[in-house]
Amino acid sequence: MTPAAALPPFQRLVTEHAGAVTGFLRGMVGVDDAEDCAQETFIAALRAYDGFDGRHPRAWLLAIARRKALDLRRAGARRPEPVGGVESLPAPELADRLDPGIWGEVAGLPEKQRAALLLRYGLDLRYREIGSVLGCSEAAARRSAHEGITKLRAERAEEVA
C-alpha cells in the first residue's frame, strides 16, 4: 500500500489544526515565538508528509511541534540565560480577572509535565492522544499531567500561605 494514496490535501491539516498547534506552542515556547515555531512545525510536516501514514494528524503535528519547541529551547540555551535558569514565558493577553501568575508557573514546569498539562487542559486532548504526542503510554501521559498539577497546586498553596 502506498501511504500517500489516502493523504488529504495538506491545507486541511492547516485549516483544522493551526489553532491547536499554535496554542500548544504558546505554552511551550512563549507567546512571542509561538507563531514562528508553528510555521516551522508545518513546514517540517509538509516535508515529511509523504511518509505520514495519514492517521491521527493532530497528534502527528503536535509531536512535531514539541520537537520544534525543544529545538528552539536548545538554541536559546546557548545564549546567556536569565538568573534562575528557568525560561519565562511572556504572559498572553489574558482577561483581567485571570491570574497571569499561573501561566508563569506552567512555564516553570519540567518540559514533559508542561506539555502534558497544556495538551490536557489547554487543548482538551484525551490521554491516549497525549501519550501518542509525547511518545509514551496513556498511563504515563496521565502521570505526567498529574505531576504537573501537583506541582502547580503546591506552588499555589505556598503563595496563599
Partner 1 sequence: MAVGDSQLDGEARETIRAGTDPGPEITDRLGAALARRAEKEGLVEVAYAEIDSPIGTLLAATTERGLIRVGWESSDHEDILEGLARAVGPRVLEAPSRLDPLKRELDEYFDGDRRRFEVPLDWSLTSGFVRDVLTETARIPFGETRTYAEVAAAAGSPRAFRAAGSALGANPIPVVVPCHRVLRKGGALGGYGGGLPVKRKLLEVEGVAA
Per the CB < 8 A criterion, the answer to whether 45 and 94 are in contact is no
**What value, to the nearest 5°, has the Cα angle with vertex 67 and ends 154 and 138?**
60
User: Does 143 help bind partner 1 (rule: CB under 8 A)?
Assistant: yes
Candidate segments 57-65, 70-78, 114-122, 130-138, binder of partner 1 by CB under 8 A:
114-122
- φ/ψ bin of 18: left (φ > 0), alpha (ψ from -120 to 50), beta (otherwise): alpha
Q: Are 92 and 107 in contact (CB under 8 A)?
A: no
Residues 50 to 69 in contact with partner 1, rule: CB under 8 A: 50
Which residues contact partner 1 by CB under 8 A?
4-5, 7-12, 14-15, 18-19, 22-24, 26-27, 31, 34-35, 38-39, 42-43, 46-47, 49-50, 91-92, 94-95, 98-100, 102-103, 106, 117-118, 120-123, 142-143, 146, 149-150, 152-153, 156
